[in-house]
Amino acid sequence: MRSTKQFFVLVLTSLLMLSLAIPAFSAVLDTGFSDVAPDAWYAEAVMYCKEHGLMAGVSDTAFAPEHSLTRAMLVTVLYQMAGSPAVTGTDAFDDTADDAWYSNAVLWASQQKLVSGYSNGLFGVNDPVSRQQMAAILWHFAGSPGAQADDFSDESAISSYAAVAVDWARANNIIDTVSENMFAPKSEATRAQVASALMKYESVQQADPSPNPDLPPAPNPTPNPQPGPAPENSPRILIAYFSATGNTEAVAGHLETLLQADLYKIEAQQPYTADDLNYNDSDSRCAAEHNDPSARPAINGSLEYMEKYDIIFLGYPLWWGEAPRVISTFLESYDFGGKTIVPFCTSASSPIGTSAEPLHSLCADSTVWKDGARFSGSVSASAVADWVNGLHLPQISVNDSTAQ
């Protein structure tokens, strides 16, 4: 009889827990927009863009998924993804206004050769962006990589300027077809289609970012730097970074130039391959390490003079919103007590958020952590300089003229 009672108690407890879990599960499926159903094909993309600050709704409760997006809006999204770098000068378009909400974005996109405007000298600020224009702009943003793909049924309707871009978009599954094997190049891109393309673009870039031709030459870190004499009362600075694809290395190179600091590259003993970095494969090495908080990938070599440094700029790419586990290995290898750590990370758009907070417990309580920043791999040296100056670190100030 007692065992029967225990059985019913267990059943009732399970039912109670299930009833409590159902509302929580439903809340996850709530997109926050009355016009985006949880089961819509674009719902995940809309939520992704909202959570990553890429696209907002047209109001607090509406996203307008079937509405078009203007050319000015699209380049503004990409400008923000690039970290909103400082720009100077004026664009050459006849229909753009100074000091408008899109001015810096259009100037930046023009200077980066993401857009060239129309042959009549207009940018088309309020023109709806077409699907082939969206493909071309994203392709330029990715560095204009070469690509080949099977033809669409309406391939002949694709303009020559967008031909390789559309191949690239198809090869990487970035832009959805409108129907079976139809691209509809001149149709207006809907907000839902743009959101989907942005989410897929970021997935591709995180898995295998294309090299950016505008990046500075890769820095040449000293395998085991020995701190030189620092000016009186000036802190000794080390820039330590892990870079799987080169984006974080580019930012570290800016910091090395600006701060005249020592550079140390954190290298995994077993290098990461393209398959290891496949974020779409739940069995990939980076996914396995991310899902195991105790994972500590071994590091090549070590620093013999860590005790000599006062400030460490610590760089890493964001993997699922967190620092790779190899950073944990690095932090647990040295005594950072009394030192200041300044984190910085690279990502296509995800903010640094709380990615550094789990790292705090790996260091002594006396370690001072500064607020970090997220950069794109193509960030300018002047933007990095502005950030460094905004940290207000004692005895540290960099001049923007140092930036290349």
The reported pLDDT for the residue numbered 347 is 77
Class of domain 237-402: alpha beta
**Residue type present at position 62:** A
Write out the chain's pLDDT in tens, 404 residues: 444 445 444 444 444 444 433 333 333 357 889 999 988 999 998 988 888 788 989 998 999 999 999 999 999 999 888 878 888 889 999 999 988 999 999 999 998 888 988 889 999 999 999 999 999 999 888 878 888 889 999 999 999 999 999 999 998 899 989 988 999 999 999 999 999 999 888 877 665 444 343 344 445 565 556 555 555 567 899 999 999 888 889 899 999 999 989 999 999 999 998 888 877 678 889 889 988 999 999 999 888 889 999 999 999 988 877 899 999 999 999 999 999 999 999 876 556 667 788 999 999 999 999 988 888 767 788 888 888 988 888 877 776 544 33
144-184 confidence digits (pLDDT tens): 888 888 999 999 999 999 999 999 999 889 998 998 899 99
pLDDT at 30: 79
The pLDDT score that the predictor gives to residue 117 is 87
Q: What is the pLDDT of residue 226?
A: 56
Please report the pLDDT score of residue 140 as a whole number. 87
- Sign (positive/negative) of CA torsion 106, 110, 115, 120? positive
Residue 94 gets which letter from DSSP? Answer: S
Give me the pLDDT at residue 213, please: 35
Closest by Cα among 371, 380, 234 to 314:
371
The dihedral over CA atoms of 177, 179, 184, 188, expressed in degrees to the nearest 10, equals: -80
pLDDT tens-digit readout, 354-381: 778 899 999 999 999 998 888 876 778 8
Helices and strands (DSSP H and E) totals, the chain: 12, 6
Listed in sequence order, the DSSP H helices in 112-162 are 131-141
Angle at the Cα of 173 from the Cα atoms of 167 and 176, rounded to 5 degrees:
95
Cβ neighbors of 63 (< 8 A, separation 6 or more) are: 31, 33, 35, 36, 46, 57, 191, 192
Q: Which residues lie across from 343 on neighbouring strands?
A: 314
Residue 306: CB partners within 8 Å, gap ≥ 6? 238, 334, 335
Burial label for 152, CB within 10 Å (0-12, 13-18, 19+), is buried
pTM to 2 decimal places:
0.53
Asked if residues 307 and 337 have their Cβ atoms less than 8 Å apart, the reply is no
